Amino acid sequence: MNFKDFNLKEEILKRVEEIGFEKPSPIQEKAIPVVLEGRDVVAQAQTGTGKTAAFGLPILSKMTKGQKALVITPTRELAIQVSEEIFKFGKYLGFHTATVYGGSSYSRQITHIKNAEFIVATPGRLLDLLKSGRIDIAPEYVILDEADEMLDMGFLDDIKEIFKFVPNDRQTLLFSATMPTAIKELAKTILKNPEFITITKKQVTNENIKEYIYVIDENERKDALIRLFDYKNPSKAIVFCRMKRDVDDIADYLSGAGINAKGLHGDMDQRKREEVIRGFKNDKIDVLVATDVAARGLDVNNVSHVFNYHLPLDPESYVHRIGRTGRAGKEGMAISLVTPHEFRALSRIQKISKIELKEIPTLDDVKDNEIQKIIEKISSVKISPKAVEIVEELQGEYDLFTIAAKFANLLFSKEADGREKIGKSLDEAKRLIERSKNQGGGQGRGSRNNRYSRNRNNRNSRDRGGRGRR
């Protein structure tokens, strides 16, 4: 099946071809025809499966001048991402988008909203505008994107309140990676006879991602991270931490080791956050260190590695994290550092993931690996006349072996250092994991209090402001 089979507008098909979309993803293949029919949709699919195109392409194809579509997303980063995607898809239709999330004056947002066909908003500021009477919108299409994330962040009541301000005569689409009871109940109240679409785990699992875990002691995290960076040599990576304070600490630590890294978390001002995201997307930053919340909605196709500096507490978060690599048909790698206190969380993740236990490379392993890469690099190099001229000139001063050794030395990026051995051996790690299972799952903390704290903190930092684009 290809996009021409969907009977989309010619302007949309032209953009799809220019962007380089070839075959629709499973969620696009199932959702686009139903959306074009005008049906309400409840779709369950993971992040990174092409959900924005699944609702954006058909709605853009259906819309006429004067109509409006409203997309509600959990975070500012995701709102920006969705808005950029919609703007890209609708290039030849002349539609405008408004992104409402925080940092701009009310008057500017209101102007953008009035002039836009597509409004992409986070719940807090959108509800502020609606309740204050500063905007009065009547969208023909309403989309809830990442509904389960909005539930986790404490926005469920806001969502219910927002739907009191939109017309009953509308087409409503709900997209969510998981379907907890609260989301199912919400769907019953805001959708009319919806079509349910589920992309199975088999379809979601990205076989291009290799997943590894390394068992370490708590005081070895930083050393283990640097050692794995030296050994894996990622071209572009995301390092996930649990706490905001860890983000700054690890970003500074990596920078001190000569790695081009920047942090991203909720306490940064919006200008700085956008600057970091833009730098990462444009390859000016090699490594992004982030919390789960800060990285939501981040869509970058060329991430080679994802590192879990701390293991997430639940499988859904793990799937969301590693889904940032292995995109667009490329191979990716997900690496997790695990201490015995995290074995309970690990056991939950192992139920849904093919994750392989590995041993942290030794210092000698790193050196041998670097030598092998240099040998491969030399083997593939073609000899130019200029290179021959340089060697001939050097032969007047050095023998050939010395010349070759000097050039080989230039190819070393940097000499790895640190302790020879980090983390548990493979046998010891297996023994500890097995003992944890026999004792009832390890010593990991429960997630209930953590989730409550996270929700409360997120509500306290509710979004403000907005922006638009033409």
Parent domain of 192: 3-203
Residues 65, 128 within the same domain: yes
Number of domain units in the chain: 2
Residues 39, 58 within the same domain: yes
Residues 14, 74 within the same domain: yes
Residues 135, 223 within the same domain: no
Domain membership flag for residue 417: no
Domain membership flag for residue 465: no
CA-based angle 400:405:410, to the nearest 5? 130
Distance, in Å, from the CA atom of 194 to the CA atom of 174, rounded to the nearest integer, reads: 9
Provide the pLDDT for residue 26: 87
Q: Which CATH number do you get for residue 236? A: 3.40.50.300
129 closest CA partner among 366, 468, 463, 469: 463
Provide the pLDDT for residue 464: 39
Provide the pLDDT for residue 204: 45
Distance, in Å, from the CA atom of 357 to the CA atom of 175, rounded to the nearest integer, reads: 34
Residues 121, 14 within the same domain: yes
Domain membership flag for residue 180: yes
Domain membership flag for residue 452: yes
Provide the pLDDT for residue 249: 95
Q: Is pLDDT of 455 > 60?
A: no
Residues 78, 156 within the same domain: yes
**338: which 2 tokens?**
């695990």
Residues 219, 78 within the same domain: no
**Domain termination residue (choose one: 203, 237, 260):** 203
Residues 147, 215 within the same domain: no
Provide the pLDDT for residue 303: 92
**Domain termination residue (choose one: 203, 235, 260):** 203
Q: Tell me: the pLDDT tens digits for 405-422?
A: 888 777 765 666 677 889
Domain membership flag for residue 183: yes
Domain membership flag for residue 401: no
Q: Tell me: the pLDDT tens digits for 377-393?
A: 788 888 888 888 888 88
Residues 431, 290 within the same domain: yes
Domain membership flag for residue 384: no
Residues 160, 218 within the same domain: no
Domain membership flag for residue 227: yes
Q: Predicted confidence band at 317 (pLDDT cuts at 50, 70, 90)?
A: confident
Average pLDDT rounded to a whole number, residues 134-139: 92
Provide the pLDDT for residue 297: 61
Provide the pLDDT for residue 48: 62
What value does the mean pLDDT of the chain take? Answer: 84
Residues 256, 211 within the same domain: yes
Q: Tell me: the pLDDT tens digits for 35-86?
A: 999 999 999 886 667 889 999 999 999 999 889 999 999 888 788 888 988 9
- Cross-strand partners of 287: 237, 261
**Domain termination residue (choose one: 203, 226, 246):** 203
Residues 146, 240 within the same domain: no
Average pLDDT rounded to a whole number, residues 448-467: 40
Provide the pLDDT for residue 416: 66
Question: Which amino acid appears at position 367 of this protein?
Answer: K
